Amino acid sequence: MINEEYKAMLGGKSVIRELAEYATARGKEIGYDNVFDYSLGNPSVPAPASFTAAMTDLYAHGDPVALHGYSPSLGNPEFKQAVADYLNRKFAMAYTANHIFPTTGAAGALSHAFRAVTKPDDEIVTFAPYFPEYGPYTAGAGLKLTVVPADTTAWQIDFAAFEQALNPNVTAVLINTPNNPSGAVYSAATLEKLASILTAKQAEYGHDIFLISDEPYREILFDGGKQPYPSTFYDNTLSCYSWSKSLSLPGERIGYVAVNPKATDADLLVPMMGQISRGTGHNCPASSIQLGVAKVLDETSDLSVYETNMNLLYDALTSIGFDVVRPGGTFYIFPKALEENATAFCMKAKEYDLILVPSESFGVPGYFRMAYCIDTDKVKRSIPALERFAHEVYG
Ligand code: PLP
C-alpha cells in the first residue's frame, strides 16, 4: 500500500511549475524568445567569476580526499567560522561557528529551523503574500500554518490582523524579507513592532515564540536601500539564508541557519539540527561547495539587471494603469490584476504570450506575480504585449 498523503499531493501541483511547463511547450511552437515567461524565480545571471575561480582552484590544488569527503554533520568548521565572521562584520552580531548550520539552500534551512523550535501540531504564523512552498514545508514538520491577511497598501504587516491570529498554540512566526512575491523590504519600524508584539506574547503565554526569518533575497535591493537584519530586533530569531539568488547557485543547494546567540538554548540548537538531519535524511551540503562559497562571502553575482528590469516594468505597468507597489528588492513585482479573478486574468494573458502567475497560491486574491529574472531585451519586448493585453481585453 503506497502513502496516500503524498499520492494526494500529486493532484495539487504547483501553479508556477505548470505555467513554466506551458511556457516551455509554447516556446517549442513559436520560439522561446517570443514567450514572455515571467513564471519562475530562477536567477538569469551567472555566478561571479571569483566563485568559478575558487572552485577551479580547489579542484586543481585541494586535497581530493577532503574535497570530496564527508562533511562533519554540523558542517565544515572553516565554512561556519567564515559565515559567522561575515555576519558579525555586516550586522554587528556575535555569532560563533557553533551558531551556524549549513543546509541545502533555504528550503533545507527552513526545514531544520521549524523542527528545532516547534513540535507537531503547533501553530506557525506567516503573512500574506507568502511563498507557496511554505505550505508543504510546514506541513512536512507537522505544523498548522496560519496566514495573516496582507497589508495591501505597502506589503508590510497588518499588525491588527497579526495580533488577532496569535494564540498560545503559536510557537513560531515565519517572515520573508525581501519578499517573494511582493518585492517588499520590511522596514526597521515593521521589524521593531513585530519584535515588541512577540516579546509581549512570549511573556503572556509563558513560552518562547521563535522568529524564523527566510532571507534568500537579502542582497537584491533597489534604490540604494538597506534590509535591516531581523535578528538584531529579536533574540529568539533563526535566520535562514541561501546563496541560490545572491550567487546564482540554486542548483548547488547551499545555505545555512544562523541561530541568534541570545536565543533560548542557542548553544543546543545547531547540535539538535544535526539530529534532525538524521531523521529527514538530509546530509550536510557537499564539502567542496562549503569550501568554495567560504572564499567568496563578500561577493554577489552582478545583480544590477534585476533593478534595470524592475524599473522598466514598474514604469510600464504604472503608465498602462496598473495599481502596483514599487518593489524594494528581489526580482518580483506584484501588481493588482485588472479583474478580481487573478487566475482568469492570467489565463487571458497567455493569449498574448505573457506568462504571469496568479496570486491565489500566494494567499492574496486579485494580484499577479512577474518574476523578471529574464533578459532585459525580453522585458522591453514584452511591454507592447502588456499594453495590447490591457487595452484590448480590459479597455
Ligand atoms: N524561500 C523563498 C521566499 C524562496 O523564494 C525560495 C526559492 O525561490 C526558497 C525559500 C527556497 O530557496 P532554495 O532554493 O535556496 O532552497
**Residue 214 Cβ contacting ligand 1 at under 6 Å:** yes
**Residue 255 Cβ contacting ligand 1 at under 6 Å:** yes
ipTM above 0.95, yes or no: yes
Q: What is the 394 CA–ligand 1 centroid distance (Å)?
A: 34
Q: What is the 18 CA–ligand 1 centroid distance (Å)?
A: 18
For 207-217, write each residue's pLDDT tens digit: 999 999 999 99
Q: Do domains 4-47+302-394 and 49-294 have the same CATH topology?
A: no
Banded model confidence at residue 11, pLDDT cuts 50, 70, 90 = confident
Residue 17, pLDDT > 90, answer no
Q: Which three cell numbers stand for residue 180?
A: 517573494
CATH T-level fold of 49-294: Aspartate Aminotransferase; domain 2 (3.40.640)
Q: What is the 123 CA–ligand 1 centroid distance (Å)?
A: 21
Residue 10, pLDDT > 90, answer no
Q: What is the 158 CA–ligand 1 centroid distance (Å)?
A: 24
Cα–Cα distance measured from residue 377 to residue 263, given in angstroms and rounded to the nearest whole number: 47
> Region 302-323: what's the mean pLDDT?
98
For 322-372, write each residue's pLDDT tens digit: 999 999 999 999 999 999 999 999 999 999 999 999 999 999 999 999 999
The pLDDT > 90 percentage for the chain reads: 96
CA angle 391–394–395, rounded 5-degree value? 55
Banded model confidence at residue 12, pLDDT cuts 50, 70, 90 = confident
Domain boundaries, the chain: 4-47+302-394, 49-294
Banded model confidence at residue 268, pLDDT cuts 50, 70, 90 = very high
Average model confidence (pLDDT) for the chain?
Answer: 97
Mutate to test the pocket of ligand 1, among 112, 177, 186, 214 (most ligand atoms within 8 A of CB): 214
Give me the sign of the Cα torsion angle 118, 120, 122, 124: positive
pLDDT recorded at residue 37: 97
pLDDT recorded at residue 13: 73
pLDDT recorded at residue 191: 98
CATH T-level fold of 4-47+302-394: Aspartate Aminotransferase, domain 1 (3.90.1150)
Q: Three-state DSSP class for 70?
A: coil
Residue whose C-alpha cell is 529568539: 236
pLDDT recorded at residue 18: 85
Residue of 223, 225, 219, 228 whose CA lies nearest to 248: 219
Q: Is 117 left (phi over 0), alpha (psi -120 to 50) or beta?
A: alpha
For 141-157, write each residue's pLDDT tens digit: 999 999 999 999 999 99
The pTM (predicted TM-score) of the whole model is: 0.97
**Residue 131 Cβ contacting ligand 1 at under 6 Å:** yes
**Residue 216 Cβ contacting ligand 1 at under 6 Å:** yes
